[in-house]
Amino acid sequence: MKVGLHYITCIAMNIIAAHLQRFQSVIDQYQHNTRSTARDYWKDRSNNELWLWLVGQVMVVGGAASNDRFQSREDLKEKLNYEALREYTNDKELQSLINEVLRAAGVRYASSDLEKCQKSKALVHNYRFISSYKGGMKGLLQDLAAIHGEHAEQDRVAFLMQHLKFIKHKSARDFLMSMGINTHTLALDIRIQNIFKHFGIEFPTQAQLSSKAIYDGTEKEIIEKICNPLHIEPSTFDRILYQNYNEIIGRKGGR
């Protein structure tokens, strides 16, 4: 396999015709009721909406339920309103407010000890970076969307990971796909890992996926060996697997 700057792989997936048939069956069965993001979705969103979406990406590390609770509570979202947070010029005061909201939403790893709460520290850093960026969240996403070239989608991911805390390989891709910017990346989480293993396909562990080489290589393998042959956009394939996880692996119940 060709080794390049953006794609290096340590695990080769043995995808056979039977696997492709199973994935095609999943696509045929669930694509019609899978929610997907419109191209350039971010353009019609406010700085506050975009900021709260990014907050959710930090919240879900370790479990997605807390973000669902946060998004359903207007009082908590109002406390983290993008414009309102400008009043907090002291980082400790800002962290204390963010920590209060995280704990109220039941976010995992949100310690009551501010010194130990890495998520609230991360969100203080992220807010300071974004609020000082020309145009705020919208300006940031405008610049990311303007990146072009063969490796544009990977370059956008790299930018977010470089400048924002608690935004890693999976969450950076998930955010960019949710914003309607990236379409040829995959948010490789435990659900996708379990589906592949359920279909009898070797898949890296979550610990292994923390390596850029393994993550990028696994993503490339899935796109080349499954998405391209089945003529499905990677972001759409990702959403189908994530949103219909329970049904695909035979569990009862929804998301």
CA distance 70 to 254: 19
Specify the pLDDT at position 9. 45
Q: What is the pLDDT of residues 59-68, one digit of tens each?
A: 999 888 999 9
| CA terminus-to-terminus distance, the chain | 37
Specify the pLDDT at position 7. 41
pTM for this structure? Answer: 0.91
Specify the pLDDT at position 235. 97
Specify the pLDDT at position 10. 53
Dihedral, CA atoms, 68, 245, 38, 228, nearest 10 degrees? 150
3-state SS track over the chain: CCCCCCCCCCCCCCCCHHHHHHHHHHHHHHHHHCCCCCCCHHHHCCHHHHHHHHHHHHHCCCCCHHHHHHHHCHHHHHHCCCCHHHHCCCHHHHHHHHHHHHHHCCCCCCCCCHHHCHHHHHHHHHHHHHHCCCCHHHHHHHHHHCCCCCCHHHHHHHHHHHHCCCCCHHHHHHHHHHCCCCCCCCCCCHHHHHHHHHCCCCCCCCCHHHCHHHHHHHHHHHHHHHHCCCCCCHHHHHHHHHHCHHHHCCCCCCC
Specify the pLDDT at position 63. 84
CA distance 239 to 100: 32
Q: What is the pLDDT of residues 4-47, one digit of tens each?
A: 334 444 568 999 999 999 999 999 999 999 998 999 999 999 99
Task: Report whether 200 contacts 181 (CB < 8 A).
Answer: no
Specify the pLDDT at position 2. 37
Q: What is the pLDDT of residues 45-54, one digit of tens each?
A: 999 999 999 9
The candidate with the shortest Cα–Cα distance to 54, out of 136, 158, 114, is: 136
Q: What residue ranges of the chain have pLDDT lower than 70? A: 1-11, 251-255
Specify the pLDDT at position 253. 39
Give just the sign of the alpha carbon dihedral 202, 205, 206, 209.
negative
Task: Report whether 12 contacts 221 (CB < 8 A).
Answer: yes
Specify the pLDDT at position 251. 55
Buried b / exposed e along 40-67 (16+ C-beta atoms within 10 A): ebbeebebbebbbbbbbbbbbbeeeebb
CA distance 241 to 230: 14
